[in-house]
Structure 1
Amino acid sequence: MQGITYHISNRIATITLNRPDKRNALNAEVVRELRAAFAQAEADENVKVVILAGNGKAFCAGADLEYLQQLQHNSFEENLIDSKELMQLMQDIYLLEKVVIARIEGDAIAGGCGLASIADLSYAVPAAKFGYTEVRIGFVPALVSVFLVRKIGEGRARELLLTGRLISAEEAVKHGLINGVMAAGSIQEEVQALAEKLCGETSANSLKITKQLISAALDKPLADALEAAARTNAETRQHPDCKKGIGAFLNKLKPDW
């Protein structure tokens, strides 16, 4: 892998965008490498939480503009294939059975802001800027719009996507785009501690099922969603993790997750 690095420690896989000279911009190769890395983390039973980070001064500047310029010579069919690869990456992250935490130590712009918003939990340094700037260069925030509307609602999504303005990390928290701001000198340790806490204090099966419930909540009519939730509730009661967790609680013990 040339555009990213992949590291595992204490059941935590850290996937780091590693093109600091290009502000970690995305191209076809990086997208393929990211998909492969997330698939590897998904399949590894020793991995429980995934951290997504960026090396250098930016988290991710979105699509590589030189790469976008090259794509202008492609046919519609070729561009559709390329677009669907990025679509699959975003879907992979959103539906991953394991918790994904974005550690944002620099600007997250356009598609990079999309990656930040798709993660389950996202934390940024105070200096980080966020924005969907596609309309400023005659492009569109097509894929990220699908996830952004789900996350922060239509009104706020319209304002961010149509103006293309940059917002601070504090404003990103107020919009519900990210979860919190952490000091630059401690964000790595704090995110690591959060990931380790999830590993040590939560059931992997419960995390997976809860993510599925959240992802599906807006896709069904209320009655259907409740019916599916009731079935999931009943099924989970039979799972060994539920039996272990309840047994440990009743015996005033800490379950070994």
Structure 2
Amino acid sequence: MDFSLLQYEVASRIATITLNRPEKRNALNGPLVAELQKAFGAAAADDAVKVIVLKGNGEAFCAGADLEYLQQLQQNTYEENLEDSRQLMRLFQQIYDLDKIVIAQVEGHAVAGGCGLVTVCDLSYAVPEAMLGYTEVKIGFIPALVAVFLVRKIGEGRSRELLLTGRLVTAEKAAADGLITAVVPAAEIKKKVAGIATSLCNDASANSLKATKKLIGTVLDLPIEQGLAHAATLNAATRGHEDCKRGIAAFLNKEKLVW
């Protein structure tokens, strides 16, 4: 599969998608967003892939929107800007709804739309030197799309602080707020993310991961009674799945099961 703005590889059931515009600090533009959609689509459709890692080449994870891209947006009509917004919307939703687990490996700053990518990943690990934040209000823009996901992830109060001030925060602060999963030293982050991805591949059922991710994304929208009823139906359906039968049999027989 050919890409010009990112790298895509699959090994040991892990697909690695690497933003590859280091000279532009991996800034987003229309073509890169389109390639990301294509890469995540390929990983989603590949039965050999169980976990996806998203990272960036160079000093930054992703610096947000490309400057040339921002200049072009000022010349667009409302309809053109709406369609452009919907393209990024589709990418965020694609990652958020993907049946497979997505891990962000953040080895540099993640700003604006770049921080949006981190927000919609299931797990995210950042080096201590990384700064994260949504700077849109500082250039007269709004963090519209990411707000939908951020409020769900860390709550209204902490979202207001990040989105309204537009300030960048340290990885430590981002972890304390629940924006990222953990802070990992630069010398260890590659091994850490690889270990988490491998553990998910070997120690957890693909069906269970898929169902659990879908459950997490659904229950917030439901009243507690409906949430519990929905959870009960998923519970019952999972019990009938072949993965559950294999898992219980291995547990009862005290066998080590590698998924």
> How would you bin the TM-score normalised by the shorter chain?
over 0.9
Q: CA deviation at 1:190?
A: 1.2
Counterpart of 1:180 in structure 2 is: 182
Q: How does 1:152-163 map to 2 (within 5 A)?
A: 152-163=154-165
- Give the match for residue 144 of structure 1: 146
Relative to structure 2, which stretch is displaced further, 205-214 or 66-75?
66-75
Is residue 230 from structure 1 mapped to residue 220 from structure 2 by the alignment?
Answer: no
Please give the alpha-carbon distance, in whole angstroms, between the structure 1 residues aligned to 2:224 and 2:5. Answer: 43
Q: Out of 37, 44, 58, which is 1:42 matched to?
A: 44
Unpaired runs of 5+ residues, structure 1, are none
Q: Provide, for residues 36-61 of structure 1, a one-character-per-residue CA deviation record: whole Å limited to 9, x for no partner.
A: 00010000000000000000000001
Alignment counterpart, residue 88 of structure 2, candidates 79, 86, 99:
86
Which stretch shows the higher mean deviation, 185-194 or 81-90?
185-194
The one of 151, 166, 169 equivalent to 1:167 is: 169
Paired residue for 1:23? 25
How big is each residue's C-alpha offset from its partner over 1:8-41, in whole Å with a ceiling of 9 and x where there is no partner? 1100000000000111000000000000000100
Q: Partners in 1 of 2:112 and 2:16 — Cα distance?
A: 22
Partner of residue 100, structure 1: 102
Alignment counterpart, residue 52 of structure 1, candidates 54, 75, 80: 54
Quick one: which of 59, 70, 73 aligns to 1:71? 73
3-state SS in 2 of match to 1:56:
coil
What amino acid maps onto 1:235 in structure 2? A
Question: Residue type of the partner of 1:194?
Answer: I
Alignment correspondent of 1:191: 193
Q: CA deviation at 1:76?
A: 0.6
TM-score (norm 2): 0.98
Equivalent AA in structure 1 for residue 196 of structure 2: L
Which residue does 2:131 correspond to in 1? Answer: 129
Does 1:214 find its partner at 2:216?
Answer: yes
- Number of aligned residues: 257
| Structure 2: 5+ residue stretches without partners | none
Local SS of the residue matching 1:185: helix
Shift of residue 254 of structure 1? Answer: 1.2
SS of the residue aligned with 1:89?
helix
Task: Classify the secondary structure of the residue corresponding to 1:60.
Answer: coil
The partner residue of 1:109 within 98, 111, 121 is: 111
Letter paired with 2:205: S
How far off is 1:222 after superposition? 1.6
Distance between the aligned counterparts of 2:23 and 2:53, measured in 1?
21
Deviation string, structure 1 residues 138-174 (Cα, Å, up to 9, x no partner)? 1110001110000000000000000011110101110
CA drift at 1:256: 2.7
Aligned CA-pair RMSD: 0.7
Cα deviation, residue 245, structure 1? 0.3
Normalised by the size of structure 1, how large is the TM-score? 0.99
- SS of the aligned residue for 1:186 comes to helix
Residue 10 of structure 1 pairs with residue 12 of structure 2: yes
AA of the residue aligned to 2:36: L
CA distance in 2, matches of 1:156, 1:174: 11
Aligned to 2:246: 244
Distance in 2 between residues matched to 1:191 and 1:256, nearest whole Å: 19
Q: Which moved more, 1:247-256 or 1:44-53?
A: 247-256
% identical aligned pairs: 62
User: What's the offset of the Cα at 1:65?
Assistant: 2.2
After TM superposition, which residue ranges in structure 1, 4 or more long, deviate above 6 angstroms?
none
